Amino acid sequence: MTDAPVRDGSGRWPSALPDDPGFDLSGLTLAERILSVKAGRRVRAGEVVVVPVDQVMMVDSIAPSALRIVEEELGGVLQYPERVSVVVDHVAPASNVRVATTQKRLREVAREKGLRLFDVGRGICHQVLMEEGLARPGWVVVGSDSHSTTYGAVCAFGTGMGATDIALAMVAGRTWFRVPETVRVRLTGDRPTGVAAKDVALEIVRRLTADGATYASIEILGAGAFGAGERMTLANLAVEAGAKVGMVAPDDALREHYHVPVWLEVDETASVTGTLEIDLSALGPVLSVPFQVDNVHPVAEHVGVHVDQVFVGTCTNGRLEDLHEVADVVRGRSVADGTRLLVIPASGRVLADALADGTIATLVAAGASIGVPGCGPCMGRHMGVLAPGEVCVSTSNRNFMGRMGSPEAEIYLASPAVAAASAIAGAVALPDARGGRAVRR
Amino acid sequence: MSATNRVWRFGDAVNTDDILPGKYAPLMVGEEVFQRYALAHLRPEFAAEVAPGDVLVGGRNWGLGSSREYAPQALERLGIGAIVARSFARIHYRNLLNLGIPAFAAPELVDVLEDGDRVRLEIERGRIVRLRERGEEALGLPPVPAFLQEVLSEGSVLAFYQRHGRFPGEDGSPTAPAD
């Protein structure tokens, strides 16, 4: 285990990227700027570049394959083991002897090779890397999980890859990219009370559609009023529009916590392949209806649909502010008979904070079950798998057929507040004036 | 005459949970057997009946969703000869090519290929030959981008890296990290 990264004297995460790249970056998008600086030359969308990787992340379900490729096909030597993180989150804790045996071996290899290991209960990979400062503005972060776009919340070039690419990135210390075109999303207007970052993210996916940003970088402008966790929600769901990366434009709020290289800023003269303007003031709470994420509709259209299980958690919406939203709705009330409420904090730190401020007590008093920080039932492996015919309202990111278990189950994706209201009602519901925030539609 | 294969046709937006559901990941069911669950939710008979060299045809956005390489790996284990779709999702497309599974974005072929068609895959000649009652019909495959052709020429991206010690398109000198 290598030394943990540290913040600088001002309490900010340093960058390690040069402030002066030594060449002109004007007229380039965020993605082009990052890949240009990493490649050491000015590159444009469509070019193929090979660039150094600042952080490689892999999870328990993929790491065994990636490490086997490293050993059997690539000679076993990692270029920068200190830049590799292993997170045990996808089946954590182990659900059976097979998984336990695989994870035991994974821990051994991680120690042997000097990788950073975040074990059971530390949390979901993306949440953990952000908490640990292992994704920073301008960094190239590749993860063995498609929601690695989450790192774009701090304007890192974060993207998901398969086991072979992850193995190569570990061994070579670099990887190849086709420099992506950019789709610019501009958020305008004031966000009404009751409209969550999740609603905004789903609106982006609805407008772009599930393949509307395929191969592209999404640049998100106008998110200044969104908190750090909310920005993670926005960047997280960029992949559901097919994007390679989803980057929130750097601003002063980001600079409070990170050193942001001076060249890492939006250039509105850069050429993009599409622009999308979203008037926040016109939005309301929405659901993503089975079985596609871009199948987004107002919650009001589905109010009353019986719900067997409500799941609050995941890399999309398992953070402290999400748990606060849920607590505000369920405080003093009870989960409906015939409905289960599972709450799985995104990380051990989130759990500790939610315990300390009383949120967990509020949730438990309302009848919620609290799970071990990790991915939970999001991909249908354990801790809340669905039976045929069951309906789940989930704060997660995918409602694909069979995603959480039976292909005959249905998953509605929603914000934490809508999920909480649905748990209380036992059916799809909007938070009312009594619980949580009033909803203005 | 060389062996012929069948076309398995699917619709739009076949996602990675369709191709290999998460609950049947190698971690869950074992490294040796996970391919038996390929496309299990959409076509339960598929894994048992598919033959090496068969061609999958899909609609828009084939492979959206997860980065799980075991999804295309399951198709590789089953010997899929090629995937033809209107369009591909990014991570999955990269995974397919890394594994050396030919993937063609070819809407004009998707328009005409039907489930159960008998075909002869001739990638080197840039075509799929469909066998019909009245004879053969050659259908052109789109060219693979040069960068990806480099990968496929060595069989997989791993084979390329092993042989050349670099990535396709990369000059001989390894790029030094910025820090």
- A296 within a domain of the structure (yes/no): yes
Looking at beta carbons, which residues of chain A come within 8 Å of B178?
16-18, 37-38, 52, 54
User: Could you tell me if A422 and A428 are in contact, meaning their C-beta atoms sit under 8 angstroms apart?
Assistant: yes
Name the residue range of residue A411's domain. Answer: 286-425
The three-state secondary structure class of A19 is: coil
* pLDDT of B176 above 50: no
Q: Same domain, yes or no, for A292 and A254?
A: no
Q: What are phi and psi of B70, to 5 degrees?
A: -70, -15
Cβ–Cβ gap A242/B61 under 8 Å? yes
ipTM: 0.92
The three-state secondary structure class of A195 is: coil
Element (H, E) at A397: none
**Residue A121 to residue A127: CA distance in whole angstroms:** 12
B30 vs A: CB within 8 A: yes
- A20 within a domain of the structure (yes/no): no
Average pLDDT over residues B81-91: 97
DSSP, res A190: P
Q: Which of A204, A225, A224 has the alpha carbon at shortest distance from A283?
A: A204
Q: How far is B36 from chain A (nearest CA, A)?
A: 16
Q: Same domain, yes or no, for A75 and A201?
A: yes
Residues of chain B with pLDDT > 70: what percent?
A: 94
Element (H, E) at A413: strand A410-413
The three-state secondary structure class of A67 is: helix
Average pLDDT over residues B21-37: 95
User: Could you tell me if A1 and A116 are in contact, meaning their C-beta atoms sit under 8 angstroms apart?
Assistant: yes
Q: Same domain, yes or no, for A332 and A362?
A: yes
Tell me what pLDDT residue A90 has: 97
> pLDDT tens digits, residue range A58-114?
999 999 999 999 999 999 999 999 999 999 999 999 999 999 999 999 999 999 999
Q: Which of B6, B139, B12 has the alpha carbon at shortest distance from B86?
A: B12
- Binned at pLDDT 50, 70 and 90, residue A224 comes out as very high
Beta strands in B53-108 (DSSP E): 55-58, 82-85, 103-105
- Binned at pLDDT 50, 70 and 90, residue B171 comes out as low
> pLDDT tens digits, residue range A272-301?
999 999 999 999 999 999 999 999 999 999
**Residue A238 to residue A202: CA distance in whole angstroms:** 9
Looking at beta carbons, which residues of chain B come within 8 Å of A150?
none
Q: Same domain, yes or no, for A314 and A258?
A: no
> pLDDT tens digits, residue range A4-59?
678 888 889 998 899 999 999 999 999 999 999 999 999 999 999 999 999 999 99
Q: Same domain, yes or no, for A216 and A303?
A: no
User: Could you tell me if A241 and A210 are in contact, meaning their C-beta atoms sit under 8 angstroms apart?
Assistant: yes
- Binned at pLDDT 50, 70 and 90, residue B2 comes out as low
Beta strands in A205-288 (DSSP E): 217-221, 245-248, 274-279, 286-288
Candidates B64, B87, B154: best to mutate against A (most CBs of A within 10 A) is B64
Q: How far is B88 from chain A (nearest CA, A)?
A: 8
Mean model confidence pLDDT for chain B:
91
**Residue A439 to residue B14: CA distance in whole angstroms:** 36
Q: Same domain, yes or no, for A102 and A225?
A: yes
Residues 79-108 of B with CB under 8 A from A: 87-91, 94-95, 98-99
Q: How far is B54 from chain A (nearest CA, A)?
A: 24
User: Could you tell me if B62 and B85 are in contact, meaning their C-beta atoms sit under 8 angstroms apart?
Assistant: yes
- Sketch out chain B's domains with CATH numbers: 5-117 (3.20.19.10)
- CB count, 10 Å around CB of B176? 10
**Residue B19 to residue B4: CA distance in whole angstroms:** 24
- A270 within a domain of the structure (yes/no): yes
* pLDDT of B172 above 70: no
> Where a domain ends, among A280, A296, A325?
A280
In chain A, the number of structural domains is 2
Radius of gyration over every alpha carbon of chain A, rounded to an integer in angstroms: 21
Radius of gyration over every alpha carbon of chain B, rounded to an integer in angstroms: 17
Q: Which residues pair with B127 in a beta bridge?
A: B122, B140
The three-state secondary structure class of A14 is: coil
The CATH number for A331's domain is 3.30.499.10
A369-370 and A296-298: which strand pairing?
unpaired
Tell me what pLDDT residue B179 has: 36
> pLDDT tens digits, residue range A344-397?
999 999 999 999 999 999 999 999 999 999 999 999 999 999 999 999 999 999
The three-state secondary structure class of A358 is: coil
